[in-house]
Amino acid sequence: MCGIMGYAGAGNAAAIVYNGLLRLEYRGYDSAGIAVMYDGKIKIAKKRGRVKELSAFCGELAGNVGIGHTRWATHGRPSDKNAHPHSSGKITLVHNGIIENYPKLKEELIASGGKFASETDSEVAAKLVDKNYDGDILEALIKSCKMLEGSYALMVMCEGFDGIAVAKYKSPVIIGLGDGGNFCASDEPALAGLCPGICVLEDGDFALITADEVKIFDSDGKRVERAVLENLAEEKSLDLCGYPHYMLKEINESPAAVRNTASAFSSCGKACEILSGAKRIILTGCGTAYHAALMGKRYIENFSSVHARADFAGELRYASRTAEEGDVLVAVTQSGETADTVEAARLYGSFGAKVLAVTNSPHSAITRIADGVVYADSGAEICVAATKSYSAQLAALYLCACVAAGGDVKAREEELFACSDMLRSFIERTDVRRLAERCSKSSAVYFLGRDLDYCAALEGSLKLKEVSYVFSAGYPAGELKHGTLALVDGKVACVFSITDPALAEKSASAVEQVLSRGGAAAVLTDIDGVKEEFGGRAEIISLPACGKYLAPLFSAAVMQLLAYRTAVILGRDPDKPRNLAKSVTVE
* DSSP summary character for residue 306: -
Q: Which of 12, 34, 4, 3 is nearest to 181 (CA)?
A: 12
| Cα(360)–Cα(364) distance, integer angstroms | 9
* Those residues with Cβ within 8 angstroms of residue 509's Cβ, 6 or more apart along the chain or in another chain: none
Number of separate helices (H) and strands (E) present in the chain:
18, 25
For residues 432 and 353, give the distance between their C-alpha atoms in angstroms, rounded to a whole number.
44
Pick left, alpha or beta for residue 204 (phi over 0 → left; psi -120 to 50 → alpha; otherwise beta). Answer: left
Beta-sheet strands, E only, within 171-326: 174-177, 181-185, 197-200, 206-209, 214-217, 223-224, 229-230, 280-285, 307-312
- Closest by Cα among 402, 384, 393 to 246: 384
d(CA 79, CA 82): 5
Handedness of CA 59, 61, 67, 68 (dihedral sign): negative
Positive or negative, the Cα torsion across 494, 500, 501, 505? negative
Helix H, strand E, coil C: the string for 472-513 is EEEEEHHHHHHCHHHHCCCCEEEEEEECCHHHHHHHHHHHHH
Q: Is the pTM of the predicted complex or chain greater than 0.85?
A: yes
Going by their DSSP bridges, the two strands 520-525 and 197-200 should be labelled as unpaired
- Cα gap 370→434, rounded to integer Å: 45
User: Which domains are present in the chain?
Assistant: 3-238 (3.60.20.10), 240-429 (3.40.50.10490), 431-573 (3.40.50.10490)
Contact call for residues 231 and 196 (beta carbons, < 8 A): yes
- Amino acid (one-letter) located at 297: K
Q: For 78-118, what is each residue's pLDDT tens digit? A: 899 999 999 999 999 999 999 999 999 999 999 998 899 99
Question: How far apart are the C-alpha atoms of 304 and 409, rounded to whole Å?
Answer: 13
Give the catalytic positions in this structure. 2, 582
**Residue pLDDT, tens place only, 4-59:** 999 999 999 999 999 999 999 988 889 999 999 998 899 999 999 999 999 888 88
Distance CA 532, CA 177 (A): 61
Nearest to 67 by CA among 101, 33, 39: 33
Name the amino acid, one letter, at 32. A
**Nearby residues of 26 by Cβ (< 8 Å), 6 or more positions away:** 3, 382, 383, 384, 576, 581, 582, 583
Write the DSSP assignment of 426-484 as a string of letters.
HHHH---HHHHHHHHT-SEEEEEESTHHHHHHHHHHHHHHHHH---EEEEEGGGGGGTG
Task: List the chain pLDDT tens, one digit each, 587 residues.
Answer: 689 999 999 999 999 999 999 999 988 889 999 999 998 899 999 999 999 999 888 888 899 999 999 998 888 888 999 999 999 999 999 999 999 999 999 999 999 988 999 999 999 999 999 999 999 999 999 999 999 999 999 999 999 999 999 999 999 999 999 988 999 999 888 998 899 999 999 999 999 999 999 999 999 999 999 999 999 887 656 788 999 999 999 999 999 999 999 999 988 989 999 999 899 999 999 999 999 999 999 999 999 999 999 999 999 988 766 788 899 999 999 999 998 999 999 999 999 999 999 999 988 999 999 999 999 999 989 999 999 999 999 999 999 999 999 999 999 999 999 999 999 999 999 999 999 999 999 999 999 999 999 999 999 999 999 999 999 999 999 998 898 888 899 899 999 999 999 999 999 999 999 999 999 999 999 999 999 999 999 999 999 999 999 999 999 999 999 999 999 999 999 999 998 877 665 66
